[in-house]
Amino acid sequence: MKPLITLATTLLMSLSTAAAPGQPTAAPRVEPPNWWVGMRDTSLQLMIHGAGIADAQPALAPYPGVTLKASHRTTSPNYLFVDLDVAPSAQPGELTLTVAGRTLRYPLLARAPGSAERQGFGPKDAIYLVVPDRFAQAGQFGRAGMLEGTDRADPGGRHGGDLAGMRKHLGYIAGLGFTQVWPTPLVENNSAKYSYHGYAATDFYKIDPRFGSNDDFGAFTAEARAQGVGVIQDIVLNHIGAGHWWMADLPAPDWVNAWPAYTETHHARMTLQDPYASANDRKRFTDGWFVPGMPDLNQRRPELATYLTQMTLWWIERYGLSGIRTDTWSYSDRDFLTRWSARVMQEYPRLNIVGEEWSPHPAVVSYWQRGKKNHDGYVSHAPSMMDFPMQSNLLAALLEDDGAHTGLTKLYEGLAHDFVYPDPANLVLFDGNHDTPRIHSLLRHDVGLTKIALAYLATTRRIPQLFYGSELLMRSPTERDDGRVRSDMPGGWAGDRVNAFTGAGLTPEQRDMLEWTRRLFTWRKGATVIHDGALMQFAPLEGVYVFFRHDAARTVMVVLNKNAKPVELALGRFAERVSAGQKARDVLTGATATLGSSVKVPARGALILEIER
């Protein structure tokens, strides 16, 4: 630990000097690498990095509609920030900038038709979460210059999954009924160890070459769209990897949050809402480093805030994304988050952003959702958040004995707390993710309970997200063990004995679960009453929880039976929504029947009925 802390502190406080006179210099680095005409905000700030470039006076060759407004330097002699204005009248083409005697050609592109009006993900969608390194390998991509090689025997190492593998199996994802795919970060993470997860970027504008190239990512997103699947980009705003190219030459000493000695965040996220919190605690939460290998970015620095905002817009526009998932949401500077989310939604008013706020408290999660009237006046523009409170309630509902405030009551009361959210239907509810043990293992390998969990996920008033492999009953330790939670998708590598994509080697239990999941989410894809219908729930009784989704034309009845025996459920209690004599279709079996005075619910199972009006 000590050497890492020393390295981090040294990197924080050091700046590279300019090249000596007469020494050859590399071509300046310019980010973002291109921009577009027709953006709603016409401002553009270029970060130019090159030896001794800071005091240069840039010149822009005449270009109709584009104006060079200003330029400025920071502490480092090797960075120049150039402010341009790209008016609505500007046409696609190539700008010519002269900087320190060098001619830089800068592309201005045309936006794709309908780009600004793109539809983001929402309650109509179902999201499939993939860890790319662990999903499938189908390419042979460059590993030259990368610090970590491939070792499938190491749970925490790189296993070699890539963009070609994900692209190859998009049909599998779409065939399961999922309409969005969320890969964990794909940008370069050039670290010596544990680089596969993607949350320690070393280059914000470059796909990690072990996954493929930026062009490969473009081919993946285009193929996904062709199969009716949107792509959600996982973007980290709070921190970078210690190997990020900035760390060898920081633009300014306060580019990352510096401390006299290494200081780690204490993860006390409630300090931001706590009326009694100390300033010291708040600062440590937001400015402390996540781990020694992940320097914490100081988004109060204006140039960095602009950089992160433009970087986000660049990925959306360049690759036609349908949404952004933002890691470690509340660890970032909250005023920056307001401006960042406002700018993204200004450019793409129908896009969706989902933030990760890992809190069990609805009051804390709701604080960050767009439209929330907060006690301190804080304003966010992020339409969605990950619903950690309900995910916790779902596990408790299925594991605890039922009582006045335990077991299934946790689901009932959790949903009753929707009054604190400005838009509860737009929250993302998940069975698990790359940071949590596998749900099937948490539910003690009980297939019935696992099906109940997924049935709830698919039918309640949320956007459902499934972790890859849940449909195969994949297992993990029940304590946190990231490498084993993110185990390889069976069949993703040549020679795998078990293959999820072909069905070879699957156990009967796995085959049944796979087909059951496919029926459930394929049905959900066309069930508009689930996408936008109202919800009515009934307090759980005797191990059974019932709720309805309904609109003016349709009704769906959902019954979750935790009992080890089938239940004959009398319908009289539910007369507000259903009655004897109506026809019903069992979504999961396809059977139809005329309802009598009761319905039979399978043991440890879910019953989902479409009721005819």
Could you report the per-residue pLDDT of 539-564, keeping only the tens digit for each?
Answer: 999 999 999 999 999 999 999 999 99
For residue 455, pLDDT beyond 70: yes
* CATH 2.60.40.10 domain extents, the chain: 2-109
Candidates 439, 502, 505, 431; CA nearest to 473 is 439
For residue 151, pLDDT beyond 70: yes
pLDDT computed for residue 12 by the predictor:
39
d(CA 515, CA 586): 15
* CATH 2.60.40.1180 domain extents, the chain: 534-611
Helix, strand and coil content of the chain, in percent to the nearest 5, comes to 30, 20, 50
d(CA 176, CA 234): 22
Q: Is-catalytic flag, 356?
A: yes
Q: CB neighbours (10 Å) of residue 112?
A: 12
d(CA 235, CA 205): 11
Q: Where are the alpha helices (DSSP H) in 144-265?
A: 163-168, 170-175, 214-226
Q: Which of 216, 327, 333, 488 is catalytic?
A: 327
Candidates 213, 182, 187; CA nearest to 198 is 187
Q: Which residues neighbour 445 within 8 Å (Cβ) at sequence distance 6 or greater? A: 473, 475
pLDDT computed for residue 97 by the predictor:
97
Q: Dihedral of the CA atoms 449, 453, 458, 463 (nearest 10)?
A: -170
Q: Where are the beta strands (DSSP E) in 483-563?
A: 534-541, 544-550, 555-561
Q: Which of 203, 216, 356, 357 is catalytic?
A: 356
The distance from CA 427 to its chain's CA centroid, rounded to whole angstroms, is 12
Rounded to an integer, the average pLDDT of 510-517 is: 98
Q: What would the DSSP string read from start to end of 359-376?
A: -S-HHHHHTTSTT---TT
Candidates 543, 541, 563, 559; CA nearest to 446 is 563
Q: What residues pair up with 203 in beta bridges, in sequence order? A: 188
If pLDDT is split at 50, 70 and 90, which confidence band does 219 have? Answer: very high
d(CA 336, CA 611): 48
SS3 353: strand
Backbone angles phi, psi at 296, to 5 degrees: -90, 125
pLDDT computed for residue 14 by the predictor:
35
* CATH 3.20.20.80 domain extents, the chain: 127-526
Q: Is-catalytic flag, 133?
A: no
CB 269 within 8 A of CB 281: no
Place of tokens 């993302």: 428
State percent of the chain over pLDDT 70.
96
pLDDT computed for residue 25 by the predictor:
57
Q: At what angle do helices 508-526 and 447-459 cross, to 10 degrees?
A: 10
Q: CB neighbours (10 Å) of residue 444?
A: 11
Quote the CATH superfamily of domain 127-526.
Glycosidases (3.20.20.80)
pLDDT computed for residue 142 by the predictor:
72
Give residue 557's identity as a one-letter amino acid code.
M
Rounded to an integer, the average pLDDT of 12-36 is: 63
Q: Over the stretch 330-350, which tens digit does the pLDDT of each residue have?
A: 999 999 999 999 999 999 999
Quote the CATH superfamily of domain 534-611.
Golgi alpha-mannosidase II (2.60.40.1180)
pTM: 0.95
d(CA 444, CA 272): 36
Distances 180 to 133, 230, 233, 520 between C-alpha atoms, Å: 18, 5, 11, 16
Rounded to an integer, the average pLDDT of 73-97 is: 98
Q: At what angle do helices 214-226 and 302-319 cross, to 10 degrees?
A: 50
CB 407 within 8 A of CB 397: yes
CB 389 within 8 A of CB 363: no
Average pLDDT for the chain: 95
Q: Among 3.40.50.300, 3.10.20.30, 2.60.40.10, 1.10.10.350, name the CATH number for the domain at 2-109.
A: 2.60.40.10
d(CA 319, CA 308): 17
For residue 154, pLDDT beyond 80: yes
State percent of the chain over pLDDT 90.
94
Q: Which residues of 524-555 are buried (b: 16+ CB within 10 A; e: fewer)?
A: bbebebbbebebebbebeebbbbbbbbeeebb
Rounded to an integer, the average pLDDT of 480-495 is: 97
pLDDT computed for residue 27 by the predictor:
87
